[in-house]
Amino acid sequence: MSEAGKQSSGHSESMASSVRKHKLLMRSIPFFILAIGIAIATFITLTPPKAPKQRPVKTAPYVQVETVRKSVETVVISAMGTVIPAREIVLQSRVTGEIIATHPEFIEGGLLKAGEEILRIDPKDYELAVETKQSSLINARSELKMELGHQDVAEREWELLNGDNPGKSLDAELALRKPHLEKAKANMAAAEADLKQAKLDLSRTVITAPFNAILRSKNADIGSQVSPQDHLADLVGTDEYWIQASVPLDRLQWIVIPRVAEEKGSFVRIMPSTGLQENHNRTGTVIKLQSDLETEGRMARLLISVTDPLDLTRPELMRSPFLIGDFIKIEIEGRSVDNVIRIPRIALRDNVNVWVVGEDGTLDIRIVNWLWRDKETVFVQSSLSDGERIIISDLATPVAGMPLRIKKE
């Protein structure tokens, strides 16, 4: 082999060896990187960072408080009630005839004043009856006068025939015409009574309102033929309405209920309908406790009087209508209690406990005796003092003696 061939063969071998080394190096790189990663991970695991140990810091929770004071408080009982008539009658005729006239307000919802004419029944038959009875009375009077004249004649004849001899009593009565006189007087009295009855029937052809009323319903009109006891209309008095309210039995002790008419019961506020202003409130007075319990809820029932419910004497108030059958909310002002502390209902925990912030700023869980409780208010009579601060916010885990921080308003 020539020198040039040897050089060419050596160069090829050198190139092949270099390629093998390069491939071997490329294959070993991943293993090298993996080894470095394992070494770093082992180092981090064996030498973790250590946090310095510190004592936990106690943080006092913030609470919202309210300072309490002793005072005179009035118990207020909330209830629901139904408006009912205080006076209601069925209007009826006492004579027979045809209705020939009605009041302009003789329509449902019409207002009638006491003494106003509501209906008029055709009076012609009754006017004729009065004339007939007057004639009969005149005849009876005439007969009585004639009989009195006969009495004078009979007395003189009796004296002439008998003188001082009294005679038999029966003979004397007949001779003196005493039965005739009694009959004439009886006829006179009967004629007077018949005339009074005829005039009374005539007056009954005019039917008037017995009190200030509103027409609730009517069953007759002009041209209707009516007879005694026919149902003509329903009238409801407008001077007063009643509210029939239901209250729990344990609330009765706080309500002033009159025993007699002269006593005055508890004052009642009648809440306005939704959207009305507070000055549209009506007021009433408790007048009676009904004798039986409510059938469904077994609650006591009170009657509350509301005067001038339709504002007929004060139309300038422009209040919402007060309608019979309406279901409304009321507030009854009950008895007053002295030397009690009013707290919000949310401050009473488990119905017996109140959370108090002590003078040292720690929590005092206080057992209290409450006198009155409703949805919003509790009256506490003991266990709290003037100026103490009660907690009205919540605590996650209340523990007696735990430090507290007070929220500033």
Q: What's the pLDDT tens digit per position in 197-247?
A: 999 999 999 999 999 999 999 999 999 999 998 999 999 999 999 999 999
Region of poorest pLDDT, from 31-35, 60-64, 75-79, 379-383: 31-35
| Residue 110 included in any domain | yes
Task: Supply φ then ψ for residue 44, to 5 degrees.
Answer: -65, -40
253 and 202, same domain (yes or no) = no
Work out the pLDDT band at 319, boundaries 50, 70, 90. confident
The whole-number average pLDDT for the span 274-302 is 81
199 and 248, same domain (yes or no) = no
3-class secondary-structure state, position 142 = helix
169 and 285, same domain (yes or no) = no
Q: Could you tell me the CA-to-CA distances from 200 to 94, 118, 239, 249 in Å, in that order?
A: 10, 18, 29, 52
Select, from the ranges 33-42, 180-189, 254-263, the one with the highest average predicted confidence (pLDDT).
254-263
100: domain CATH number is 2.40.50.100
Tokens of 174: 């007949």
pLDDT at 181: 74
Q: Which of 336, 352, 368 is the last residue of a domain?
A: 336
Work out the pLDDT band at 141, boundaries 50, 70, 90. confident
| Residue 22 included in any domain | yes
pLDDT at 315: 82
Stronger pLDDT, 70 or 156, i.e. the higher one: 70
Residue 133 DSSP code? H
pLDDT at 79: 93
pLDDT at 11: 56
151 and 206, same domain (yes or no) = yes
165 and 269, same domain (yes or no) = no
The parent domain of residue 268 ranges over 77-85+236-336
Residue 168 scores a pLDDT above 60: no
pTM attached to this predicted model: 0.72
pLDDT at 363: 92
Q: Which of 179, 206, 235 is the last residue of a domain?
A: 235
Residue 57 scores a pLDDT above 70: no
Angle at alpha carbon of residue 289, lines to 283 and 290, rounded to 5°: 120
| Residue 162 included in any domain | yes
Stronger pLDDT, 9 or 137, i.e. the higher one: 137
190 and 124, same domain (yes or no) = yes
Q: What percent of the chain has a predicted confidence (pLDDT) above 90?
A: 52
| Residue 90 included in any domain | no
Q: Which of 235, 269, 295 is the last residue of a domain?
A: 235
110 and 231, same domain (yes or no) = yes
pLDDT at 147: 75
Query: Which of 222, 202, 210, 217 has the alpha carbon at shortest distance from 96?
Result: 202
